[in-house]
Structure 1
Amino acid sequence: MILNEDISSLSLYKDVVEIAEQKGIEIIFSTLEEEKSSSELGVSSFNPEKKIIQIEIRPSVINRVEVFIHELLHAKSYLLGNPYIQSYSMIQINPYFHNIIGSINNSFHHHIMVYPEMKRLGYNQDDIDKQFIDNILENCDKVFEGTEKLAHAVNLLELYLRSPESILNVEHKIKKTQSDEYQLFIDLKNSILPITSPLEMRAAYAKVLKKLNEFVYQIANESLYLNIIILVSPIFPDSYLEKSAAFSLYTLKLKGYPHVFVLDKDHNQCCYFLSNNGKDLDKNYVNNILKESKLSDLIKMLS
């Protein structure tokens, strides 16, 4: 994609490109395929293994600066060390749940970086938000069943982050007709709002994934094991770095899969998927490395 001068001359664009170069990360701009969800005007994704941030923009909004600003801020959030999530590729998550988890991931980055920075820079996306806001508000009388409740609760969270006053106007209605969705929304909101640092953000990710797992188990009697199959990029307190890695990490092995899952002890959330170049890796081998290595050395080894 060839960027027009309005985009390439932005100080934010130059800042993001400079940080990416310093970290050895490539930023690729491309057009968003038309068959993808029509609600998405832009999409950003980070592949840590390939060290690539992909920013896709729908052709119909290629000249809208605020869409680029939004996606550049997602990229900046990754570059500044805010945690990202990654699904374990050998266990397929239901696409419905996958989209819900992706939506929550967006909400995290919207709260910590995207919306505050857009406001500070003097940009808004009010006309883009209006359709989303109107659609969610129209659904506040609807009775949802099963996992639809989960999706609606996640949408209520995003509605709150985009337009707090909108949800306040219908809060009494939601409490009455959608009590399960409302309580999950409150739990999600209370997990996200206090975040002020990447370390707190990772803890909140783990808390939210646990809430989702509990909610799904409650309505469908099914555990998604999101603490194992969703990797949240590891961030540790400085006081842990010179201690043995085994002080803060432990391992799990799932029968039939080659990877060793390394989880943190504080939040019981996956930090690493480790294998022998895709082949089976012995859990005891990893345990010995954890015992013998300082956490700071292990982080360097796995980065």
Structure 2
Amino acid sequence: MNRNVILTCAVTGAGDTTAKNPNVPVTPRQIADSCIEAARAGASIAHIHVRDPQTGGISHSLDHFREVMERVRESDTDIVMNITAGGGGDWIPDTQDPTRGGPGTDIQTPAQRHEPVGELLPELCTLDCGSLNFSDMVYINTADWLREHARLVQAAGVKPELECFDLGHIWFARQLQQEGLIDGDPLYQLCLGIPWGAEADTETMLAMRNKLPAGANWAAFGIGREQMPMVAQAALLGGHVRVGLEDNLMLKKGVLATNGELVDKASGIIDGLGGRVMTPAETRAHLALRDPSTGRIAGGDA
């Protein structure tokens, strides 16, 4: 049992969810406000994507990321910021010619994916550790692309959150560490329940946890109705947790959620198990993150 739990809130994601729940934030102001809402509800970390303010669809705009970061950092609330660097990997085969990408295909180079991270220097960023049959598309992360991306993140001095959607992704993340591309104790995020990756159940979480290297910090999340069960399971197995409207739109059956409500519900589960949610300051110290206000490694030297 982990009694000191880091709680991430993934506030918006990039999925086609805005029509299903009006609480999913779309504009940079709304996304920043959701980060602040999550912080006030007790979240340790805010994980952010940005969206096209006109369509609600995927965006990689540096200006949108910058606006979110500035609004959060200028507010009176504190939260660790985690920028996605996993966009630009969506391959949807054309129905007439499957050798070509069809409508919805969105591919970026590692340098393009890294641009918001390198420019804005958040405390954390995601590094997705393999390709996946992601529902009805293919999410592409080739080994050489990931090595290049890991080097860029390392050079920026930002800690990567190693997102693993299956056991093979953990294998490759360990390889990145062996090659010297991951500094310090690694941080893993076990992503469960996304078709067709690792399932959201105890056996799968335990198997993935048991493949992590010594000294690793780890968290896990489930999507949809498995979100809160995986909160409890991750804490019981010694990990950290993630909730938020990126992964689940419902507070309970028939009741649409807000990010703050999901954080509050997860905090209650952790409290009921005898644990507590770590503050952002405690999170920075625990993960050895660079404090944006001082430029120094929390709990250590610059």
Based on CA coordinates, which of the two structures has the bigger radius of gyration?
A: 1
TM-score for the superposition, normalised by structure 2: 0.29
Structure with the bigger RCO (C-alpha within 8 Å, sep 6+) is 2
Q: Which has the higher strand share?
A: 2
More helix as a share of residues? 1
